[in-house]
Chain A
Amino acid sequence: MRRILVVWACAVLASAALGAEPVRVAFWHSMGGDIGGKAIPKLASDFSASQATYVVEPSYQGSYDDSLNKLKAGLMSKDVPAVVQVYDIGTRLMVDLKVATPVQDFIDQEKYDVSDLEPNVLAYYTVDRKLWSMPFNTSNPILYYNKTMFKAAGLDPERPPRTFAEVTEAARRLTLKDSTGKVTQYGVAFAIYGWFVEQFLAVSGAPYVDNGNGRDARAARAVFNGPEGVKILGWWKSMVDEGIMANYGRATTDTRNAFNAGQVAMIIESTAALRGMMDASRGKFELGTSFLPRPSSKDYRTSGTIIGGASLWILKDRPAAEQRGAWEFVKYLAAAPQQAYWHTMSGYYPIRKAGYNEPLDKEWRAKYPPFQTAIEQLHMAPVSRITSGGLIGVFPSARQIVEGAIEQVLAGRATPQAALDDAAGAVTTAIQDYEASVTK
């Protein structure tokens, strides 16, 4: 901590002495589309314009996976940015790589007030009592549904399904077939995405790995093959078998596009897609959003969703001045006005409560109620080991393994229990390999 103070003092003196030249702060991100093309550059240039010391240069690195890979490759020769956006599941790996300066150091040194930040969000990125990265774009999964189709099917558009059974029931009513028996409209569709399983497990109150989800001690085994996991996959499969659920594969965009085209009545997706979904549905149908369905109503009280999205990491292999700039930028992004703007541009919700009080945000939510859904869902979730999310270094791989298990189950190749047992075994092996290579 004292080192940070010294380093910071030198940086300030140095920049004061040298005067003019603003410090270049490279920022790697994975936000594409309008979010990455408009919002990110605007945030970066607004920050650069608001002060004279630092200039932030954002550069789009492709998906989170691609970006992390580039980072790992760049680490070997110190060619890294000052601040990088890494997805939620990369947390354990980033900590173990020992390449970041924890934001906790900056927080402590300047006594930055974190009391206004959402506790669930902070809990996710806190490892060994330190906040390692600054939350930036945070999301959770919600149910998107087509209100127009609900009305047509005789369902109340203001009362979307809340439990697994209710979803099945609604999907039955919403699936339409033509005279030849071919389905013209599916009731529901889930992309084959490991994140959804992680979330369903969380709202069922089940952990992903042992040792307090990897937060009490380093995780040793995957435990998602318990009764809750089996129930989730069994429910998923039953809907596909019954012909009321469509399968568009792994890419969430494919499922999203099918929903926008009016081929399916309900989907699960991140709230981050909300802005885009809203724009796409305008003039075509009325969009509704609701909470992630749970096994039963009581689960709404006892468990909750995990936060998703990504956070910003400051890398320690950059000069102190750049790290300082990165911290200033990260603080800027976390401030209420920027969080409100970010919220309206995407659907990622503000990480601090003051963000909701921004006039821009209030107006926006009043005008477009769906933007409120994820926030309510966030606040409904108790802070626990489960809602803080699993912490393992092999999460990207684990997600793929779980996706493989889902595919197996849907193809009828294995029962939910067998597929999950296999998957848990594979993930456990991966964890063991990882631990062996890291804790030497």
Chain B
Amino acid sequence: MISMTRQHAHAARLRRARSAASLLEAFAYLSPSIVLFAVFVFVPLVTTVRLSAFTTDPLGRVSAFVGLAQYARILADPRFVHSIGRTLLFAVFTVPGTLIAGLLLATLGTLRLSKIPLFRMLLSSPLAVSAATASLMFLDMYHPGLGILNYLLGLLHQKPVPWLVNETTALPAVAATTVWLQTGLNTIVLLAGLQDVPQVLHESARIDGAGPVRAYFGITLPLLTPTLFFLLIVDVLAAFQAFTQFHVMTRGGPNGATNVMVYAIYREFYFDGRFGIAAAQSVVLFLIMLAFTLAEFRFFERKVQYA
């Protein structure tokens, strides 16, 4: 009995020593990243959280401690609540669109044609374009009077759309730009995912008499779910963090229709130097993003089929 316990204890000590050694070794590989994250992500985050409990003077220097009252204040501010709504709506406009567009383009990219590599490249080309560049390009196309889009609509005898100038159309217009931008990445990643579906499964599906459509929905899509899940996470986070398009195209207008949270936060500290309030808003944004990601993991990862 006693020797067994000692053996256990000895084994346990060995395990702990090996654990410690492996932890140490792992740290060697992880430390560059961890140090960088600590310095540039976590410490600033903590600083921001700290700042969120204070009011600041126009130069951003801390002036008075207000604690959680600041959060109560911003959550009671209808404009901030409105911007939360705008952000969620923006995510709804961009994410499904991006996933579907990426899927369609990637599927087209699996066609067995000799020139298909060229088309794959063309279809995913938005990846090479920056948000600033795309914003300027779309801004030009969206001009209510002179832009090419309304001109083409006119040729088709349709009424011109006010695009960025009208409250109802502005957010979808910026969302369209964002979908265009994000589709590049989505297409490439989905292409890789599609190519990964083993040929043998297609063969056996055909042998079983399944048509291409049924094969697509019954076999291909389920096998794509890990990729789709990855893209869902990435696209939602990107939607919540979008800034450049809003800054270049609409500056939060018209009438706050495109005043998503990131832009609202930027205006808080940019125009009025209300760093404390901006910091509190950033923390709220962070928590929302965290909640969404956790929810996605909880609800969607179950549906993901790892091969």
Q: Are B253 and A407 in contact (CB under 8 A)?
A: yes
Give residues of chain A (178-200) contacting chain B, Cβ–Cβ below 8 Å.
180, 182, 192
| B58-84 Cβ-contact flags toward A at 8 Å (1 or 0) | 111101000000000000000000000
If the complex has contacts A246-B145, A250-B254, A263-B146, are A72 and B58 also in contact, measured as CB distance less than 8 A? yes
Asked if A397 is an interface residue, CB under 8 A from chain B, the answer is yes
- Secondary structure class of chain A's binding surface, majority of residues: helix
If the complex has contacts A393-B58, A397-B272, are A249 and B255 also in contact, measured as CB distance less than 8 A? no
Q: Are A69 and B270 in contact (CB under 8 A)?
A: yes
**Nearest-neighbor residue (CB-CB) of A406 within chain B:** B255
A69, A258, A404: the one within 8 Å of B253 (CB): A404
Asked if A438 is an interface residue, CB under 8 A from chain B, the answer is yes
Q: Are B146 and A261 in contact (CB under 8 A)?
A: yes
Query: What is the count of residue pairs linking A and B with beta-carbon distances less than 8 angstroms?
Result: 93
Q: Are A248 and B255 in contact (CB under 8 A)?
A: no
B165, B167, B273: the one within 8 Å of A248 (CB): B165
Interface residues on B, range: 20 to 34
**Nearest-neighbor residue (CB-CB) of A259 within chain B:** B145
A429 CB to closest chain B CB (Å) equals 10
A400, A413, A433: the one within 8 Å of B274 (CB): A433
Complex Cα–Cα for A436 and B57 (A): 9
Kindly list chain B residues whose C-beta atoms are within 8 Å of the C-beta of A182.
154, 159
Kindly list chain B residues whose C-beta atoms are within 8 Å of the C-beta of A76.
59-61
If the complex has contacts A246-B144, A254-B143, A261-B145, are A411 and B255 also in contact, measured as CB distance less than 8 A? yes
Complex Cα–Cα for A96 and B272 (A): 13
Interface residues on A, range: 35 or more
Kindly list chain B residues whose C-beta atoms are within 8 Å of the C-beta of A438.
57-58
| B247-274 Cβ-contact flags toward A at 8 Å (1 or 0) | 0000111111000000000010011111
- Secondary structure class of chain B's binding surface, majority of residues: loop
Complex Cα–Cα for A257 and B255 (A): 23
Give residues of chain B (80-95) contacting chain A, Cβ–Cβ below 8 Å.
none
Kindly list chain A residues whose C-beta atoms are within 8 Å of the C-beta of B274.
433
Q: Are B59 and A97 in contact (CB under 8 A)?
A: yes
Among A76, A246, A258, A407, residue most surrounded by chain B Cβ atoms (within 10 Å): A407
Q: Are B255 and A404 in contact (CB under 8 A)?
A: yes
B136 CB to closest chain A CB (Å) equals 12
A415 CB to closest chain B CB (Å) equals 15
Asked if A374 is an interface residue, CB under 8 A from chain B, the answer is no
Give residues of chain B (155-209) contacting chain A, Cβ–Cβ below 8 Å.
157, 159, 162, 164-167
Kindly list chain B residues whose C-beta atoms are within 8 Å of the C-beta of A394.
271-272
Q: Are B272 and A430 in contact (CB under 8 A)?
A: yes
B141 CB to closest chain A CB (Å) equals 12
Complex Cα–Cα for A72 and B167 (A): 32
Q: Are A400 and B271 in contact (CB under 8 A)?
A: yes
Asked if B56 is an interface residue, CB under 8 A from chain A, the answer is yes
B163 CB to closest chain A CB (Å) equals 9
A258, A261, A407: the one within 8 Å of B167 (CB): A407
Q: Are B165 and A247 in contact (CB under 8 A)?
A: yes
Q: Are A437 and B146 in contact (CB under 8 A)?
A: no
Asked if A408 is an interface residue, CB under 8 A from chain B, the answer is yes
Asked if A403 is an interface residue, CB under 8 A from chain B, the answer is yes
25 contacts across the A-B interface (CB closer than 8 A): A65-B270, A69-B270, A72-B58, A72-B273, A73-B60, A76-B60, A76-B61, A182-B159, A192-B253, A246-B144, A246-B145, A248-B144, A248-B165, A249-B144, A249-B254, A250-B254, A263-B145, A397-B271, A400-B252, A407-B167, A407-B253, A411-B254, A434-B58, A438-B58, A440-B57
| Given A247-B165, A254-B144: 19 more A-B contacts, CB < 8 Å | A93-B58, A97-B59, A246-B145, A247-B162, A248-B143, A249-B144, A249-B253, A249-B254, A250-B251, A254-B143, A254-B145, A257-B146, A263-B146, A400-B271, A404-B256, A411-B166, A413-B255, A437-B57, A438-B58
